Chain A
Amino acid sequence: MTKLLIWYGELTTRRNLTRRGLGYLSPGMLWLLWFLILPGFVLVLVSFISRGSYGQLEWNFTIENYKRLLGFSLFGWSADYLRIILRSVIVAVVTCGICVLLAYPLAFFICGRPARNRYFWLTLVIVPFWTNMVIRTYAWLLILDPDFPLARLAALLKLIPDGSALYPSALAVYLGMVSMFLPFVVLPLYSSVERLDWSLVEAAQDLYASRWRVFSQAILPQTLPGLSVGVILTFVPTMGMFVVPDLLAGAKYMLVGNLIQQQFGQSRDWPFGAAISMGLMVLTLISLQLYRRRSKEVDIL
């Protein structure tokens, strides 16, 4: 006799529940399986095959693509791709760093507001976050335009030739990246700062700790969960972002994202593009694991 159980007040069997549950899960899960999981595996597969002369896929196994990524090609070793990867990492690190530096004061400021106003300020931070990334990015072309005060100032200081814009440049990319990813860091950090136990801070101040020590010993550790979530949500996506470098720095300042886009665009080298994506994917999966572990202590949305 199948064992009866009560689930949410209903008298039923485990088999019954499983059957009904699968009914609910199937449509969504099948979709994700077909258009997310399988394509993922296909992508992995494709990273191990080669490309024909017209850009078609030739199904023979090779690890050529990965070797290319590391610099080994038919023409000897070149550091081009590695340079791109390194640049992406640097951009990611610097962007994260600046975002963190800006996020802390903002988070503390919002927490300093009376509770009923905080929601208003948070919404204020969220709104730019939801705006289209293309718009937000190209807007910098206006701000960095030669006629605009910023570029005029730089020209006055002889930093750039007279009458030219502040783009395309690394500076423009950083400005774009930071403004893009700042809310990703502020929101989780705010979550942590809100839960801060100020008595620890006061205790540290009571014990004559210097400002810096108060921060590093009493505040930083407590906000670490939110901080880590913010960094995790920013680091890898920064590397994969191609819109910002494309609009603000052109072809000379490529990041990993641009490289991938190129393979699926004009270069028509899907296997190579797949290989690069795989590299990025590995970093993402590591991020994902860290996110799941840390995010249990932090709510974002």
Chain B
Amino acid sequence: MRRTHPLVTAMAFVTMGFLYLPLLAVALFSVNDTRYGLIWKGFTLDWYVKLFHNEYILEAAWNTLILAVVSTIIATILGTLLAIGLDRFPWGKKTDTVLDVILHIPVVIPDIILAAALVVAFGLLRLLSGIFEPGLVNMIIGHITFQIAFVTLVVRSRLASLGRDMEEAARDLFASTPYILRRVTIPLLLPGIVAGAMLAFTLSLDDFVISFFTAGPDSVTLPLYIYAAVRRGVSPQIHALSTLVILITVVLIIGMERFTRR
């Protein structure tokens, strides 16, 4: 490969720096020993400690976790079934295209349109039942809706790479359809399913827009908490919280990438 021009390298590093500047700034000021202002006053982990005593934050963290776990489980199941249904059955080309487009909508659509549609839908569903008041249920439903698309895409690409050989060989070896599903297809699919689940989990943890539009007063999540707090004014505690959130996300992402590369 040709040697990279030094100017290109310089620009690349500047760009990388630009990308990481916000994250580093937050991390830096989360350990600054001062309540206001940005002058460096010494290293401290006080703010992190204070986090764990803040009831609101703990409650938001709990909500975030519940939301992510529940929605991930349901979305993974629905998404995996959907992926198998799409890939392993002979639908006509037209049907395939339609289903494919529907699946891509949550991925390409700006979050806010999806959120708007959900707000309106829940507003009407509220007339039928009280469950659809803004709150955790709405948020879970909203999250699942966009998570399904991502899980399906990931699982489906794994399915496609499996090909027919395995299943034909299993048939040749006297296996019945349920047996093949249990002993061949699902085990081979497992890495893809786990990757999809991890992706869905991360998306849920980090979601802001959908949560913002569907949340109720009792169902604040960490991103929402941070948003509300920042509008009031930044504080080191928020920096500490944000840094933690960043670290958790990084760990999840690296874990997920490791898994998909197996």
**When A and B assemble into the complex, do they touch directly, with CB atoms less than 8 Å apart?**
yes
Which residues of A are at the interface with B, using a C-beta cutoff of 8 A? 7-10, 14, 17-18, 20-25, 27-29, 31-32, 35-40, 42-43, 46, 57, 102-103, 105-106, 108-112, 123-128, 130-143, 145, 147-148, 178-179, 182-183, 198, 233, 236-237, 239-243, 247, 257, 260-261, 264, 270, 273-274, 277, 280-281, 284, 287-288, 291-292, 301
| Residue of A125, A137, A139, A247 contacting most chain B CB atoms (<10 Å) | A139
Q: For the complex, what is the distance from the CA of A35 to the CA of B121, rounded to whole Å? A: 8
Assembly CA distance A233 to B168 (angstroms):
39
Q: Is B128 close to A, CB under 8 A? A: no
Q: A21-B89, A128-B20, A288-B101 given as contacts; is B8 within 8 A of A134 (CB)?
A: no
- In the complex, chain A residues whose CB is within 8 Å of the CB of B202: 130
The verdict on A240 contacting B110 (CB below 8 Å), with A131-B206, A143-B25, A147-B39 known, is yes
Q: How far is the CB of B104 from chain A (nearest CB, A)?
A: 6
Alpha-carbon separation in the docked complex, A37 to B149 (Å): 13
Residue of A nearest to B91 (CB): A21
**Which residues of chain A have C-beta atoms less than 8 A from B12's C-beta?**
105-106, 108-110
Q: Which 8 A-B pairs have the closest CB atoms?
A: A24-B85, A240-B110, A139-B22, A28-B82, A21-B89, A109-B12, A9-B171, A39-B121
CB contacts (< 8 Å) of B186 on chain A: these are none
Interface of B (DSSP majority class): helix
**Residue in B1, B22, B84, B111 whose beta carbon sits within 8 Å of that of A140 in the complex:** B22
A12 CB to nearest chain B CB (Å): 9
13 new A-B pairs (CB below 8 Å) besides A112-B4, A135-B226? A9-B172, A10-B177, A18-B89, A21-B85, A28-B82, A102-B11, A138-B230, A142-B29, A142-B234, A145-B38, A247-B230, A257-B112, A274-B120
Query: Which residues from A are CB-within-8-Å of B88?
Result: 8, 21, 24
Question: Which B206-246 residues have a C-beta within 8 angstroms of A?
Answer: 206, 208-209, 213, 223, 226-227, 230-231, 234, 238, 242, 245-246
- Smallest CB gap from A288: residue in B: B108
Which residues from A are CB-within-8-Å of B187? none
- Measured between alpha carbons, how far is A233 from B120 in the docked complex, in Å? 26
B188 CB–A CB distance under 8 Å: no
**Could you say which residues of chain A place their CB within 8 Å of the CB of B1?**
111-112, 198
Dominant secondary structure at the A interface: helix
- List B residues 80-113 near A (Cβ within 8 Å): 81-82, 84-86, 88-91, 99-106, 108-113
Task: Pull 17 A–B residue pairs with CB atoms less than 8 Å apart, ordered by A.
Answer: A10-B177, A17-B90, A18-B89, A21-B91, A24-B84, A27-B81, A39-B117, A102-B18, A105-B8, A105-B11, A109-B11, A139-B23, A139-B25, A198-B2, A273-B116, A277-B112, A281-B113
Complex contact A142–B145 (CB within 8 A):
no
Q: A8-B168, A9-B167, A182-B19 are contacts. A284–B226 as well, Cβ < 8 Å? A: no
A39 to B149, CA, bound (A): 16
Contact B230 A141 (CB under 8 A): yes
Say whether, besides A8-B164, A141-B230, A288-B108, A128 and B37 are in contact (CB < 8 Å): no
Could you tell me the distance in whole angstroms from the C-beta of A79 to the nearest C-beta in chain B?
23
- Contacting residue for A134 out of B7, B170, B230, B254, CB 8 A: B230
Q: Are A46 and B120 in contact (CB under 8 A)?
A: yes
CB of B78 to closest CB in A, whole Å = 4
**Closest Cβ neighbor of A202 among chain B residues:** B2
A135 to B223, CA, bound (A): 8
The interface residues of chain A lying within 8 Å CB-to-CB of B22 are 128, 135-137, 139-140, 142-143, 179
**Which B residues are in CB contact (< 8 Å) with A20?**
89
Residue from B3, B116, B142, B152 in contact with A28 in the complex, judged by beta carbons closer than 8 Å: B152
Number of interface residues of B (CB under 8 A): 97
Are A43 and B116 in contact (CB-based, < 8 A)? Answer: yes
Question: Chain A nearest CB: distance from B109 CB in Å?
Answer: 5
Check: B46 CB closer than 8 A to any chain A CB.
no
How many angstroms between the C-alpha atoms of A27 and B83 in the bound complex? 11
B117 touches A40 (CB 8 A): yes
- Chain B contacts for A281, CB-based, 8 A: 109, 113
Q: With A39-B121, A198-B2, A280-B110 as known contacts, state yes or no: A28 contacts B38, CB within 8 Å.
A: no
Determine whether B21 belongs to the interface, using a CB cutoff of 8 Å to chain A.
yes
> Does B141 count as interface, using CB distance less than 8 angstroms?
yes
> Of all chain A residues, which has the CB nearest B37?
A147
Contacts of B8 in A (CB 8 A): 105, 108-109, 112
Bound complex: CA of A31 vs CA of B116, how far in Å? 18
- Given A123-B254, A277-B113: A132 and B15 within 8 A (CB)? no
Shortest distance from the beta carbon of B120 to any chain A beta carbon, whole Å: 5
CA distance A121 to B116 in the complex (A): 37
Q: From residue A247, how far is it (CB to closest CB) to chain B in Å?
A: 6
* Whole-angstrom CA separation of A264 from B111 in the bound complex: 14
Q: Is the CB of B249 within 8 A of A131?
A: yes
Does residue B119 face the partner (Cβ distance < 8 Å to A)? Answer: yes
* Chain A, Cβ-Cβ closest to B145: A35
* Chain B: CB-nearest residue to A138: B230
